[in-house]
Structure 1
Amino acid sequence: MNNAVANIYGEQTPAVKSTTTEMMVGREAQEVQMAMYVAKKFPRDEVESYNRIMRACQRKSLAEQSMYEYPRGGQKITGPSIRLAEALAQNWGNIDFGIMELDQKDNESSVMAYAWDLETNTRQTKIFQVPHTRYSRRKGNEKLTDPRDIYEMVANNGARRLRACILGVIPGDVIDKAIEQCELTLKSGNTEPLIDRVRKMVGAFEKEFSVTKEMLEGYIRCSSDAFSENDFIRLRKVYKSLKDGMSKREDYFEIKSPKQETEKHRTKLDDKLKGKTDSKKEESKNEDASEINQKDMFEGTPFEMKDGEE
């Protein structure tokens, strides 16, 4: 007779990991250990790493992509781009960085961006969600179903977090010097002032593609007088794309129809006429008020003659 109490959880066998999973986990662990061992055995020469970064920033192709800019609240937000961050990590050395998609479900992806200094064991990690939607001013929120669109959306969002991770493990003064060198690289070889180059660029757009200065300012989202070196580079790329026939004006600028231009001109004219009318009404009102004030000046004063007085 068996007097043992039955197992309330049933006769369940423990989960067994597959051989493939165990091999993958073991391989990744060995790779991390080996990377840390190599980093400790061959530490970076900071002087040589710094010199490599400065030489990289002297390349004009990198300098042109080294900074990002976008308008916010009437000001320009600027900072090191992902391209400059990658160049910094590659030349600083002994840094493991990348983006990993952890999960994909419920029309969103869970993603991790990381940067790990293998020498100092300093690590920056950011885990975030990327909804499978794309926003545009014309169409609003658009659901993504194409795997390629989803991949590009995840990569674009991951690049911004990866940039922050890389910049978090590299000394700040090295980053500042890299930005300074990129700015010097952009300015070198340009004897003509930026404002004159912008004026010529505006004239070329208007002459060859009928793109006005207002359309360029709408694309950059600031006045042409405030265009920076990076803005000029962006416009030069657009000009080359239009020149080569790789794109159309509509891909970059808001093209208004003749009817819209007529309505806009009519609205401006109506506002101008309305302003003149309001101004005339205000002048008439002021004149009436002036007459009333003059009348009050001579009524009820001590110099007024009353009946019976001489």
Structure 2
Amino acid sequence: MTFEEQPIDYSNYLPDAPQARSVAAEMVATRQSEQVKAALFSAKQFPRDQQASFNRIMQACQRKKLAEEAAYEFPKGGSKVTGPSIRLAEVLAQNWGNMEYGVVELDQVNGVSKMEAYAWDIETNTRRSMIFNVTHERKAKGRINKLDDPRDIYELTANMGARRVRACILGVIPGDIVDAALDRCRQTLKDGYTEPLTDRLRKALLKFQEKYGVSKEMIEEYVGCGQDAFTENDFLKIAGVWRSLSDNMAKREDYFNITKVHVPSNAEEEFLKLQEVEKKEDVVHDISTE
């Protein structure tokens, strides 16, 4: 008597795939629901002390690093747009208390991510949210490059979402708190410098020239007066332009008239220096022959 080995059918032992997915989704939804209930209960049990929250915000705004990154500024339509930065909005939300904020990806189809940014004041049940689409592409040097690396896609969606999160946070926190925080940051900048204003301006103008090819004349035209008349507020304004350029939120053409003043290239600078050396040598030669 012989026995033939029969293949074992494991199908009876495997859970149904759609059913498994529905159970997992239900578990996630239940966990999220319990987290929301816990947050609401905690907010009711421990309501914020608005004066204490305000004091924490003012204390945070005394940090020089935060004060330097607290505001953005860029020109638009012949005027300037200024406001609290993403970093300041995050500090406001953290110290105001009983708040949740963030950005989530709702869906991703055909190279487009559907995102939602939100901010929720749990104590007052005030919520702001924005739903937007992010196409997986990046424009650089006049060309549009499609993104397929998950890391590049994540960085793009996170960057686009951060601005919406800022708008949501600022839509929930009272406006007078935001204004007071900005004023405190400006005062921190004024009080935090040990160098005289003239030295700081000289270094700033030199950095603009070296990195962006922006001359002193361009900056004077932008501010509206000569360097000798620059004030602390003008220095803060220049610093805001520097941050906007460094963060790629604007281009130098948005601020300065680069066609009005000719900025020599590196080759031209070397040629001019060579001409100056030759002139000095001619003068020395003339003096030695007399």
TM-score by length of 2: 0.68
The Cα shift of 1:97 comes to 0.6
Does the Cα contact within 8 Å between 2:116 and 2:131 map onto a contact in 1?
Answer: yes
Q: C-alpha separation between the residues in 2 aligned to 1:210 and 1:158? A: 29
Q: Which residue of 2 aligns with 1:153?
A: 156
Contact 2:74 2:241 in 1 (8 A): no
1:232 corresponds to: 239
Matched residue of 2:152: which SS?
Answer: helix
Q: Cα offset for 1:49?
A: 0.4
**CA deviation profile, 1:127-166 (whole Å, cap 9, x unmatched):** 0001111123x23322222221111110111001000100
Structure 1 159/210 Cα, relative in aligned 2: closer, same or farther at 3 Å? closer
1:43 corresponds to 2:47: yes
User: Relative to structure 1, is the Cα distance of residues 203 and 128 closer, same or farther in structure 2, using a 3 angstrom cutoff?
Assistant: closer
Following superposition, the deviation at residue 42 of structure 1 comes to: 0.5
Higher relative contact order (CA 8 A, sep 6+): 2
Correspondence 1:125 to 2:125: no
Distance in 2 (CA, whole Å) between partners of 1:174 and 1:115 is 16
Q: CA RMSD in A?
A: 3.5
User: 1:28 matched to which residue of 2?
Assistant: 32
Unaligned runs of at least 5 residues, structure 1: 1-14, 240-253, 263-310
Contact 2:104 2:117 in 1 (8 A): yes
Identity of aligned residues (%): 49
Task: Name the structure 2 match of 1:170.
Answer: 173
Q: Distance in 1 between matches of 2:122 and 2:130?
A: 18
Pair member with larger Rg: 1
Output aligned runs, 1:162-201, within 5 Å.
162-190=165-193, 194=197, 197-201=200-204
4+ residue runs of structure 1 moved beyond 4 angstroms?
Answer: 191-196, 209-212, 215-218, 221-228, 233-239, 254-259
TM-aligned CA distance change 1:152 to 1:195, over 3 Å: farther
Which moves more between the two structures, 43-52 or 222-231? 222-231
Separation of aligned partners in 2, 1:149 and 1:18: 31
CA distance in 2, matches of 1:24, 1:216: 60
Q: Does 1:140 align with 2:147?
A: no
Count of aligned pairs between the two proteins: 229
Q: In 2, are the aligned partners of 1:101 and 1:112 still within 8 Å (CA)?
A: yes
Query: Is the Cα–Cα contact under 8 Å of residues 194 and 229 in structure 1 kept in the other structure?
Result: no
Structure 1 residue 192, shift from structure 2 partner? 5.9
Distance 1:101 1:77, change over 3 A: same
Question: Which TM-score applies when normalising by structure 1?
Answer: 0.64
Which residues of 2 match residues 1-310 of structure 1 at below 5 A?
Answer: 16=19, 18-136=22-140, 138-190=141-193, 194=197, 197-203=200-206, 209=210, 212-214=213-215, 222=222, 228-229=235-236, 231-232=238-239, 235=242, 256=265, 258=267
Tell me, what secondary structure is at the counterpart of 1:44? coil
CA contact (8 A) 1:217 1:224 kept: no
Could you list the per-position Cα deviations for residues 246-267 of structure 1 after superposition, in whole angstroms to 9, with x for gaps in the alignment?
xxxxxxxx995748x99xxxxx
Task: Tell me which moved more, 20-29 or 226-235.
Answer: 226-235
The CA deviation string for residues 152-187 of structure 1, in whole angstroms up to 9 with x for no partner, is 110111001000100111111111100100000011
Distance 2:34 2:44 in 1: 15
